[in-house]
Structures are given as structure tokens and as C-alpha cells.
Amino acid sequence: MGTTTTTGSAVDPRALNSFAEFYPFYLSEHANRTCRRLHFVGSTLALLCLAMLLATGNWLWLLAGLVAGYGFAWIGHFGFEKNKPASFKRPLYSFMGDWVMYKDIWTGKIPF
């Protein structure tokens, strides 16, 4: 298990050595319900864009999916959660966290 570096009360996500350590931090960065809802909408739109890319072969759907996924998430963070997305410091773990949280919302583990 890794050590965490803190500044004030904030955990530095770069100090977390596994996804199992990172995910609780990730959820703490998504405590605001509106932020979680915006993530959910953005992820759903990104999946729809991926489906359109596969159906049409038009690579602009990839761009649309990235804009939808990250756009909605960043609005949630900057506008409602009042924090910076963890993807700025741990992009892979944050991407994984997005999809685990998406699943957890669908299965009712996390309130929508």
C-alpha cells in the first residue's frame, strides 16, 4: 500500500499506487450529485458517439465523443464540484474511475 501526500486536506492522487487506492479518492472528488450526473450524461453520450463511429465509420464521432465525455465532466468539476479533474494528474486511473463510477451508478451503488 502506498503513502499519500497531502497538502491541506487534499490528497495528491499521484501518491496513490493502485486503482484500489485511487478509486475512493476519485469518489471523494465526485461528492456533488450534479457533478456525478453530468459525468453520467457525458459518458452515455460518449458511448452513443462510439456506437455511431462503429456504425458509420466517420471518425468525427470520436471527436464528438471526447468532447461530450470530457466537456460534461469538466462542467461538473469546475461549475459544481469546484475542483480540478483528477485526470490532470492521473489520466489512466481517472478514465478507469469514470467507467467504474458509471457502472456503480447503473447498479445503484452510487446515488444518481
Angle at 95 between CA 87 and CA 107, to 5 degrees: 130
Radius of gyration of the chain (CA): 15
Q: How far apart are CA 51 and CA 98, in angstroms?
A: 18
User: 31 in a domain, yes or no?
Assistant: yes
Please tell me the total count of domains within the chain: 1
User: 15 in a domain, yes or no?
Assistant: no
User: 7 in a domain, yes or no?
Assistant: no
What is the value of pTM for the model shown? Answer: 0.86
Q: How far apart are CA 54 and CA 48, in angstroms?
A: 10
User: 101 in a domain, yes or no?
Assistant: yes
Structural domain containing residue 100:
22-106
Q: How far apart are CA 26 and CA 34, in angstroms?
A: 15
Do the beta carbons of residue 34 and residue 77 sit within 8 Å?
A: no
pLDDT band of 87, cuts 50, 70, 90: confident
Q: What pLDDT, in 10s, does the model give residues 20-50?
A: 999 999 999 999 999 999 999 999 999 999 9
pLDDT band of 9, cuts 50, 70, 90: very low
